[in-house]
């Protein structure tokens, strides 16, 4: 018995089901009768428990369930107080108490009869290893319990984490190299290329295997377009192509068998010196792709926290399209200063809307064109394009 994959949907029935099934603690699950105490000792124990999950295989800590001597759930123990305030308190403790920060941590308060319980979900991390700031110790889980790591084990975790991050970087480098040399999965018409790479954290850990066959008929992949793509399978996985023609296509999306995702859009060369990258249109298309991609990952049973990497090939022939009359601009603004634009990777939290999760990505594109930030967000940082 386990809690829902989408933690935000957890209900009192899910919590009660753990007790009814006498669910046992284990590698991925631990019960606590009471919430962490606010004193130094309570905070330290809480941080050690959470970092241990992140440094091993990930899992859930459930505060508000009693267990017997064998670690089996026996009763729901409703916690008193304000559930939202308690969730925020624990989030603050985690934010300030673990180094480096664990990506994808979730704290969910669940209302039950008489009060609430709190579930803390710590995914297996490839950004660690993580240590408790209060004593600089590293912890892991073994046989359902946490223990402190020794120096060789810490060194091994650092190596594992770096290897996982390097795999993601190598994937992007390899894919950009193939596109620059014309070795994509489908012939592209001549033009500048806007490329989006999305790598779920779960896929980066090497734990994902995608069956491409359903994409031949039942399933559809999102593309950077309103066009309905044609889907097929290839050696890498599932491929969706926009308007395939003998002379080439305007873009495609590729779902790799390991869960990595690539989407490409061509901006065809014309008679003008530069092609236009519509500043609103491309953002709307990326938002739509992320929304559909998240739904697809949920269908595949893959977590929706992911890293996004945007690149633009032949960027020096591209103009960022926006109403130039609205701004006092220097000559260089609105243009990219290099042929190959490879933007830094950005972590997209699963609990943010596509618009908010992608804001740092869009800001990077605008800044690369000499602008302060995406003009499609208001001063408060919310999606509010002027049409």
In this structure, are 51 and 200 located in the same domain? no
| pLDDT attached to residue 1 | 62
| pLDDT attached to residue 161 | 63
In this structure, are 127 and 176 located in the same domain? no
Of 90, 118, 149, at which residue does a domain stop? 149
In this structure, are 120 and 74 located in the same domain? yes
Asked, for residue 342, whether it belongs to a domain, the answer is yes
Q: Using the predicted structure, report yes or no on whether residue 165 has a pLDDT greater than 80.
A: no
| pLDDT attached to residue 203 | 83
| pLDDT attached to residue 345 | 87
Sequential DSSP letters for 310-358 = EEEETGGGEEEES-GGGS---TTTTB-SSSEEEPPPEEE-TTS-HHHHT
In this structure, are 187 and 266 located in the same domain? yes
Q: How does residue 194 score in pLDDT terms, banded at 50, 70 and 90? A: very high
**What average pLDDT does the segment 280-307 reach?**
91
For residue 98, what are the domain limits? 7-149
Any idea what DSSP says for residue 78?
P
**What average pLDDT does the segment 179-191 reach?**
91
In this structure, are 139 and 32 located in the same domain? yes
In this structure, are 233 and 265 located in the same domain? yes
Q: How does residue 314 score in pLDDT terms, banded at 50, 70 and 90? A: very high
Q: Look at residues 64, 36, 201, 203 and name the one whose alpha carbon lies nearest to residue 132.
A: 36
In this structure, are 214 and 341 located in the same domain? yes
pLDDT > 90: percent of the chain: 45
Q: How does residue 181 score in pLDDT terms, banded at 50, 70 and 90? A: confident
Of 120, 149, 178, at which residue does a domain stop? 149
**What average pLDDT does the segment 93-101 reach?**
86
Mean confidence (pLDDT) of the chain? 87
Asked, for residue 210, whether it belongs to a domain, the answer is yes
Asked, for residue 340, whether it belongs to a domain, the answer is yes
CA angle 62/67/69 to nearest 5° reads 135
Of 149, 182, 210, at which residue does a domain stop? 149
Q: Using the predicted structure, report yes or no on whether residue 355 has a pLDDT greater than 80.
A: yes
Is-contact 253 221, C-beta < 8 A? Answer: yes
Q: How does residue 153 score in pLDDT terms, banded at 50, 70 and 90? A: low
pLDDT in tens, 26-48: 878 889 999 988 888 888 889 98
In this structure, are 145 and 172 located in the same domain? no
Asked, for residue 141, whether it belongs to a domain, the answer is yes
In this structure, are 265 and 325 located in the same domain? yes
Asked, for residue 300, whether it belongs to a domain, the answer is yes
In this structure, are 126 and 215 located in the same domain? no
Q: How does residue 256 score in pLDDT terms, banded at 50, 70 and 90? A: very high
| pLDDT attached to residue 156 | 64
The CATH number of the domain holding residue 82 is 3.30.950.30
Q: How does residue 88 score in pLDDT terms, banded at 50, 70 and 90? A: very high
Asked, for residue 160, whether it belongs to a domain, the answer is no
In this structure, are 342 and 193 located in the same domain? yes
Q: How does residue 59 score in pLDDT terms, banded at 50, 70 and 90? A: confident
Asked, for residue 142, whether it belongs to a domain, the answer is yes
> What's the number of domains the chain is made of?
2
Asked, for residue 247, whether it belongs to a domain, the answer is yes
Beta strands in the chain (DSSP E): 29-32, 59-63, 65-67, 73-76, 98-99, 106-112, 115-122, 131-132, 137-142, 145-148, 191-200, 230-233, 237-241, 251-256, 261-268, 275-278, 306-313, 318-321, 340-342, 346-348
In this structure, are 240 and 143 located in the same domain? no
Q: Using the predicted structure, report yes or no on whether residue 229 has a pLDDT greater than 90.
A: no
> What does pTM read for this prediction?
0.65
Q: How does residue 304 score in pLDDT terms, banded at 50, 70 and 90? A: confident
**What average pLDDT does the segment 98-115 reach?**
86
| pLDDT attached to residue 236 | 96
Instruction: Give, for 178, the enclosing helix (H) or strand (E).
Output: helix 151-180
**What average pLDDT does the segment 335-359 reach?**
90
Phi, psi of 78, deg, nearest 5: -60, 135
Residue 130 or 143, more confident: 130
Q: Using the predicted structure, report yes or no on whether residue 328 has a pLDDT greater than 90.
A: no
pLDDT > 70: percent of the chain: 93
């Amino acid at each position: 018995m386990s809690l829902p994959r989408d933690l935000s949907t957890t209900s009192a029935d899910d919590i009660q089901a753990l007790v009814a099934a006498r669910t046992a603690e284990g590698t991925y699950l631990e019960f606590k009768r009471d919430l962490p105490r606010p004193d130094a000792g309570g905070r330290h124990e809480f941080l050690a428990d959470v970092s241990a999950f992140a440094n091993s295989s990930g899992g859930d800590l459930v505060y508000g369930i009693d267990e017997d001597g064998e670690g089996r759930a026996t009763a729901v123990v409703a916690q008193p107080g304000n559930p939202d305030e308690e969730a925020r308190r624990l989030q603050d403790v985690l934010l300030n108490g673990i180094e480096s920060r664990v990506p994808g941590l979730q704290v969910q308060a669940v209302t039950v009869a008489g009060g609430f319980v709190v579930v803390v979900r710590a995914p297996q991390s490839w950004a660690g290893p993580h240590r408790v700031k209060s004593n600089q110790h590293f912890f892991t889980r073994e046989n359902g319990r946490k223990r402190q790591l020794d120096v060789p084990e810490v060194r091994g975790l650092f190596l594992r984490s770096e290897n996982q991050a390097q795999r993601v970087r190598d994937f992007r480098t390899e894919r950009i190299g193939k596109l620059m040399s014309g070795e994509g999965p489908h012939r592209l018409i001549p033009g500048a290329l806007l490329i989006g790479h999305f790598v779920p954290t779960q896929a980066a850990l090497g734990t994902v295997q995608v069956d491409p066959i359903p994409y031949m008929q039942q399933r559809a992949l999102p593309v950077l377009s309103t066009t309905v793509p044609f889907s097929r399978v290839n050696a890498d996985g599932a491929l969706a192509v926009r308007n395939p023609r003998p002379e080439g296509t305007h873009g495609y999306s590729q779902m790799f068998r390991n869960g990595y995702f690539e989407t490409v859009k061509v901006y065809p060369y014309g008679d003008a010196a530069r092609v236009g990258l519509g500043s609103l249109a491309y953002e709307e298309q990326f938002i739509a792709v992320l929304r559909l991609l998240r739904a697809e990952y949920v269908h595949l049973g893959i977590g929706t926290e992911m890293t996004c990497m945007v690149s633009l090939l032949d960027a020096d022939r591209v103009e960022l399209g926006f109403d130039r009359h609205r701004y006092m601009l220097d000559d260089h603004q609105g243009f990219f200063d290099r042929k190959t634009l490879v933007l830094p990777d950005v972590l997209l939290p699963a609990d943010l809307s596509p618009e908010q999760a992608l804001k740092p990505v869009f800001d990077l594109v605008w800044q690369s064109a000499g602008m302060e930030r995406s003009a499609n967000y208001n001063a408060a940082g919310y999606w509010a394009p002027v049409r």
